[in-house]
Amino acid sequence: MTAIDPEYRRGRRRGEMTVATIARMAGVSAPTVSKVINGRAGVALDTRRKVEELLREHGYRRPEAVGPAAILEVVFSVLESHLAIELMRGVESVAREHELAVGFTEMRGRLAPGRGWLEQVLARRPTAVIAVYAGFTAQQHGQLAASAIPLVALDPTGDPGHTIPSVGATNWSGGVAATRHLLDLGHRRIAKISGPPNFLCARARLDGFRAAMDTAGVPVDPALIRDGAFAFEDGLALGRELLALPDPPTAVFTGNDLQALGVIQAAREAGLRVPDDLSVVGFDDLEFTRWVGPPLTTVRQPLTAMGAAAAQIAIALATGEEPAQHRVELATTLVVRDSTAPPSR
């Protein structure tokens, strides 16, 4: 595909809804409708909701008097650098082919006084928005749609909605593969540290763990199931709890690589060796996992490829194409290194 034509979608086609028409239907002024479309303040909440409902109901598309900025905007709920680098690398590789720049916004980051992250994005008028681990409200999605800014969700932790195209990984299959690896080594006391229960990716990995255990005929001990944030500190705290049990696990499958590093530290504190006394499996395959001692067995998410796929869908939407699939899932891969071994007991 060539670079996006700056003349694309300029002007108003016959029969399309106008700001003036929306204003008459809502019983407000045209400048008020314009404020809603551009995400600006100064509009009463009830009025804003009424206008947004009309914009969605009538499929309003803002005319392009000036073409959109040649930028793909990547929005993070929280900017996690260990994931962001790989995702951004994939987005940038596709953007470069289309002569687009890449910018990023953090929902919880430092924003200009009196302006939220969405208002800043709308003011920059990017070609498209890619949301990473970000839960968009219907109102926010409506504001982007009204401004003709396509939205793609990248591995959303919640339900992105059926109308939002999304890219993810095969989290369930990854959970199955990691658990089968431990079972094949001979482990039966396998603990599972999951991520936040409201994250679909965490639930899928946990479901994959349960499915593999059930298929092998190995009961899941509820005492060996924990959930926490995708953070080193949670892996450390939960690892301490599990290793302090009267009948501790011989292996732990964690929700991500950071939790896995926390469990390894908890094992060191307990005087245990990995993998001689405890096997540990992570999830993500971040770059540092091959450098830690011992190198970590983990499930690889194709983060760079996921970023590239999201960028391709976003650019296609920006040029008026309808994606063949609204949900794309790329395959995960088990990477076996030195943190797993047969149980010693």
41-78 pLDDT, tens digit each: 778 888 888 888 888 787 776 655 444 568 999 988 77
70: part of which helix (H) or strand (E)? Answer: strand 69-76
Do 148 and 196 lie in a common domain? no
- Which H or E run contains 334? strand 333-335
Are residue 125 and residue 158 in the same domain, yes or no? yes
Mean pLDDT of 111-124: 66
8 within a domain of the structure (yes/no) = no
Give the amino acid at 184: D
pLDDT tens-digit series, residues 77-114: 776 667 888 999 999 999 999 989 998 888 764 444 34
Task: Give the residue from 299, 209, 202 showing the smallest Cα distance to 249.
Answer: 209
Total number of domains constituting the chain: 3
Q: Is 179 exposed, middle or buried (0-12, 13-18, 19+ CB in 10 A)?
A: buried
Q: Map residue 71 onto helix, strand or coil.
A: strand
Q: Which of 160-169, 220-229, 258-267 has the lowest mean pLDDT?
A: 160-169
What DSSP character marks residue 16?
Answer: -
132 and 161 inside one domain: yes
Q: Is there a domain that residue 139 lies in?
A: yes
Q: Do 313 and 164 have their domain in common?
A: yes
Alpha carbons 88 and 306: distance in angstroms, whole number? 10
- Asked whether residue 325 falls in the same domain as residue 223, the answer is no
Q: Can you tell me which residue has the tokens 């680098």?
A: 85
Residues 290, 316 share a domain = no
| pLDDT value of position 108 | 66
In 3-state terms, what secondary structure has residue 106? Answer: strand
Residue 80 pLDDT: 65
The C-alpha angle 316, 318, 322, rounded to 5 degrees, equals 50
255 and 204 housed in the same domain: yes
Q: Does residue 309 share a domain with residue 163?
A: yes
Phi, psi of 210 (to 5 degrees): -65, -40
Q: Are residues 191 and 285 in the same domain?
A: yes
Question: Is there a single domain that holds both residue 130 and residue 178?
Answer: no
pLDDT > 70 fraction of the chain, expressed in percent and rounded: 86
What sign has the CA pseudo-torsion 97, 104, 119, 52? positive
pLDDT tens digits for 284-340? 999 899 999 899 999 999 999 999 999 999 999 998 888 888 889 999 999 999 999
Cβ-based neighbours of 66, under 8 Å, separated by 6 or more: 125
Alpha helices in the chain (DSSP H): 19-26, 30-37, 45-57, 81-97, 117-124, 138-146, 171-185, 200-215, 232-243, 257-269, 303-318
Output the pTM of the full model: 0.78
Do 184 and 289 have their domain in common?
yes
Q: Name every residue whose Cβ is closer than 8 Å to that of residue 111 and which is 6 or more positions away in sequence.
A: 117, 120
- Look at residue 342 and tell me if it is in a domain: no
Residue 184 lies in a domain: yes
Is residue 3, in this structure, part of any structural domain at all?
no
Phi, psi of 103 (to 5 degrees): -120, 165
Over residues 203-257, the pLDDT tens digits come to 999 999 999 999 999 999 999 999 999 999 999 999 999 999 999 999 999 999 9
Q: What are the CA-CA distances from residue 285 to residues 238, 307, 335 (Å)?
A: 21, 15, 8
Rounded CA separation 147/129 (Å): 12
Closest C-alpha among 173, 146, 138 to residue 55: 146
Two tokens, residue 96: 């470069």
The answer, yes or no, to whether residue 283 has pLDDT greater than 80, is: yes
In a domain, 10, yes or no: no
One domain, residues 233 and 136: no
CATH number at residue 73: 3.40.50.2300
Structural domain range at position 320: 69-168+304-329
Q: Is residue 288, in this structure, part of any structural domain at all?
A: yes
